[in-house]
């Protein structure tokens, strides 16, 4: 059977996808180097190929115009967040252990030299050290520290909810609104702020604010999209999921549609003043919705 010739537009699209995949391949090499530098953080089970390739692909598709160096901080921050999530959600067996993890990482926001025997803190400190070389770090360091604290506190809050759920204490479980308000544990806001500081996309808090508002709405949307994708795995792993809180799929789908519409409006308002950042956010939302439509980053349950 004859193979049809691709049109010029099809070739151009394929060429763009090829470049994105090449960019992801370079990012994947860097992530594997990170894993090799911190082997205690990334045991083969559960950190199989899907985690590293998923992080690399997501960031490459989010910034197809970028060089590997321009998205290195975003991919490393995302990988660090996976390690933190694993330690809090699955390795820690008591609130004391969770609190120790949170306090140790929060110390990095205060320029405290991390304990050399704590890989999670060392990896985070290396990310902060690279961010400090950005010309906009003095103006935006507080925003990064705030994003990190929010991520850590949201993880700690969900740990308490998860423990209440597994213990049968329904009185301590969140409402739908409370669960969604805790979406900082998804981690994309922290990744975005790190990315924008690294690339000097904005030069101060006022310029960052509209980007962050749109990114936070995307984060809430993807928190729910992720939950729909990972429900079976969450059941198997003993994690918390919106579908475990008495909320049905139809209601979650409706809320996702509402949030996605809000995201489109917020991103649209950025197009004139922040065309590159608006494209980044639009692609982040679209790619992630497509990705979670088939799988999640941890792979099969």
Asked if the structure places residue 179 within a domain, the reply is yes
Asked if the structure places residue 94 within a domain, the reply is yes
Confidence class of residue 5 from pLDDT cuts 50, 70 and 90?
low
Please answer whether residues 64 and 19 qualify as being in contact, where contact means their C-beta atoms are separated by less than 8 angstroms.
yes
pLDDT reported for residue 7? 66
pTM (2 d.p.): 0.94
Residue with tokens 């980007």: 211
CA 58 to chain centre: 10
Split into its structural domains, the chain has a count of 1
Q: What angle do CA 6, 9, 11 make, to 5 degrees?
A: 50
pLDDT reported for residue 196? 98
Asked if the structure places residue 176 within a domain, the reply is yes
Question: In degrees to the nearest 10, what's the CA dihedral of 251, 255, 261, 262?
Answer: 160
Please answer whether residues 35 and 52 qualify as being in contact, where contact means their C-beta atoms are separated by less than 8 angstroms.
yes
pLDDT reported for residue 14? 86
Which tens digit of pLDDT belongs to each residue from 133-173?
A: 999 999 999 999 999 999 999 999 999 999 999 999 989 99
Asked if the structure places residue 261 within a domain, the reply is yes
Asked if the structure places residue 27 within a domain, the reply is no
Whether omega before 46 lies within 30 degrees of 0, making that bond cis, reads yes
The CATH number covering residue 95 comes to 1.10.600.10
pLDDT surpasses 50 at 23: yes
Q: Mean pLDDT throughout 271-288?
A: 96
- Find the domain containing 165 and state its range: 79-292
């Amino acid at each position: 059977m004859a193979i049809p010739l691709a049109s010029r537009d099809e070739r151009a699209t394929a060429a763009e996808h090829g470049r994105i995949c090449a960019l992801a391949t370079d990012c994947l090499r860097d992530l594997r180097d990170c894993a090799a530098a911190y082997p205690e953080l990334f045991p083969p089970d559960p950190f199989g190929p899907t985690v590293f390739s998923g992080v690399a692909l997501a960031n490459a598709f989010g910034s197809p115009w970028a060089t590997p160096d321009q998205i290195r901080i975003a991919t490393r921050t995302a990988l660090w967040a996976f390690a933190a999530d694993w330690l809090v959600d699955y390795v820690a067996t008591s609130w004391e252990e969770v609190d120790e993890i949170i306090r140790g990482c929060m110390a990095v926001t205060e320029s405290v030299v991390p304990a050399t025997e704590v890989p999670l803190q060392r990896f985070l400190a290396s990310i902060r050290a690279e961010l400090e070389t950005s010309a906009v770090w003095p103006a935006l360091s507080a925003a990064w520290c705030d994003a990190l604290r929010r991520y850590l506190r949201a993880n700690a809050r969900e740990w308490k909810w998860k423990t209440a759920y597994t213990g049968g204490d329904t009185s301590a479980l969140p409402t739908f609104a409370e669960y969604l308000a805790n979406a900082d544990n998804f981690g994309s806001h922290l990744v975005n702020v790190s990315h924008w500081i690294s690339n000097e996309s904005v030069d101060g808090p006022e310029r960052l604010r509209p980007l962050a508002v749109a990114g936070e709405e995307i984060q809430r949307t993807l928190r729910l999209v992720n939950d729909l994708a990972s429900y079976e795995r969450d059941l198997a792993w003993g994690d918390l999921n919106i579908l475990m809180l008495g909320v049905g799929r139809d209601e979650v789908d409706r809320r996702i549609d509402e949030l996605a519409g809000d995201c489109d409006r917020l991103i649209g308002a950025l197009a004139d003043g922040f065309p590159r950042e608006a494209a980044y956010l639009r692609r982040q939302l679209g790619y992630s919705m497509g990705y979670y439509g088939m799988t999640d980053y941890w792979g099969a349950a």
